Amino acid sequence: MSEATLEAAAYGVVPETGMDREAIIEALKEKKANDLTDLARVYGYTYSPGGETEAVAREAYMMFLKENALDITSYPSVMVLEREVVRMIANLLRGDESVVGNMTSGGTESILLALKTARDYTRHHRPEITEPEVILPRTAHPAFHKACAYFNIKPVVIGFDTTTYKADVAEMRAAITPNTIMLVGSACGYAQGVIDPIVEIGALAKEKGLLCHVDGCVGGIHFSFMRRMGYALPDFDFTVEGVTSISADMHKYGYAPKNASIILYRDKSIRRFQIFACGLTTTYALVNPTMLSSKSGGPVAGSWATLKYMGEAGYQNLIRRLMDTTKILVDGINAIPGLRVLGQPDMCMFSFSSDEVNVFQLQYEVKKRGWYIQPQFSTPLSPPNLHISVIPPVLGNEEAFLADLRGAFEDLKASGNHLDFGMVKEQINGLIAGLSEDEAKERLQQLAGMDDDMPEDFSMVNTVIDGLSEDLRKFLLEDYVNQLFV
């Protein structure tokens, strides 16, 4: 990058005169240097199948980049496209003509809306409940906890079967109180790719007169096509009595450009409590079906184009390849002595752990060989582990990955450089014993090696965080990110 370009692109500076197009593009390329760019070696985050599908979706996205879904009277095309996308997904999830929904900016917004709607629906129908509670398996996505924090709902966390990783419905039943407003299940849970017993959860919700949300953000679309292909799957969609809402992401295994998700409700009488309207100010009348006001029509058009271009045959062909690859990876990892896949994944995503090495160090050893897999912390019922999402860009590279994983594992075992989880946790407790809360937090930041820059190797950071109480873990994660964005 030239000196002039560097000066014009300086941090926090609006240039005195505008940069030219070439300089802007060069500066942006420089900033992307440390991003995950070789998608054929990244097991997560980017779900696009690439090729002509991505080209068609990109063109559709850009056609509607400036159209604003805030005002459907000015941009009725966006509303028409959204209704068509929602109906296609509702049909895949075997909803009848009463099922309604909207497009959102992602799975988190869909989940936020599901809980906000449940809270307001309950306020209307059961006003005696002033301290609402939602029952979540520990395997549920963190977005449910975010929604509870935002909307003043108490999350009641229940366990799961430590062999299958399915939600414990008996424990869910025991957790119901007069304040319970909703039960939650996943199809599938992100971490281990396992479908919860949705039929049983739905039946329990119906028996108790509760709402029931199914988080199908990663699996809803994928599983719907799998069923049509003849795969044996438990029911999880609107055919299950008691299920009142489902979320499903287009920008994950629907392969649309980000940010695009769907939130669906059994009927309009429930969805009514999702919508916000205000006519009390000097400005225009505001009516928002979802959380955002202004939002680009690009993701809506990109989703519509993806569904129409890929069609049933395109989705089924890709899903067959993904599931075949997943079997190769699961079998290959289980064949490495000292590694084991957790649960029995239903989806093309899963996690694995080890009793012989620190998996966070293993993740870094794999990273040094050019691959990205995702670290996940332990819970009282599950060990620290590594997550893999099998996505289109990695297809065909499974044997190379398994060879590098095996090599990384053997090298780490032989190195003698082992961060022991129990020992680190013991050291943490010793270091913070007798300290004030603020002093303890400062000491933990030092121990983890956290500063204003992200380290190349997160092994120590993750091991320290894994050894903390839930409250301290939450603090350290929040504080670390708070330091980074300055």
Indicate whether 105 belongs to any domain. Answer: yes
Which of the residue ranges 135-139, 216-220, 416-420 would you say has the lowest mean pLDDT? 416-420
How far apart CA 479 and CA 143 sit, in angstroms, is: 19
Contact 288, 275 (CB under 8 A): yes
The residue with greater pLDDT, 478 or 403, is: 403
Domain boundary (242, 277, 305) is at: 305
| Model confidence at 416: pLDDT above 90 | no
CA 74 to chain centre: 33
| Model confidence at 4: pLDDT above 60 | no
Do 151 and 224 lie in one domain? The reply is yes
Could you report the per-residue pLDDT of 129-151, keeping only the tens digit for each? Answer: 999 999 999 999 999 999 999 99
Residues 6+ apart with CB under 8 A from 367: none
Could you report the per-residue pLDDT of 105-126, keeping only the tens digit for each? Answer: 999 999 999 999 999 999 999 9
For the chain, how many structural domains are there in total? 3
Here the CATH number for the domain that contains residue 117 is: 3.40.640.10
Do 28 and 84 lie in one domain? The reply is no
Nearest to 264 by CA among 334, 225, 214, 229: 214
Could you report the per-residue pLDDT of 11-65, keeping only the tens digit for each? Answer: 788 988 999 999 999 999 998 888 887 888 999 888 989 899 999 999 999 999 9
Beta bridge partners of 474: none
What pLDDT shows up at residue 269?
A: 98
Rounded to a whole number of angstroms, the CA Rg of the chain reads 24
What pLDDT shows up at residue 113?
A: 98
Do 119 and 192 lie in one domain? The reply is yes
Could you report the per-residue pLDDT of 292-346, keeping only the tens digit for each? Answer: 999 999 999 999 999 999 999 999 999 999 999 999 999 999 999 999 999 999 9
Indicate whether 87 belongs to any domain. Answer: yes
Do 177 and 241 lie in one domain? The reply is yes
User: Any idea what DSSP says for residue 115?
Assistant: H
Nearest to 154 by CA among 172, 178, 179: 179
Domain region containing 292: 60-305
Mean pLDDT, rounded, of the chain: 94
Half-sphere exposure of 224 (CA within 13 A, CB side): 24
Do 173 and 70 lie in one domain? The reply is yes
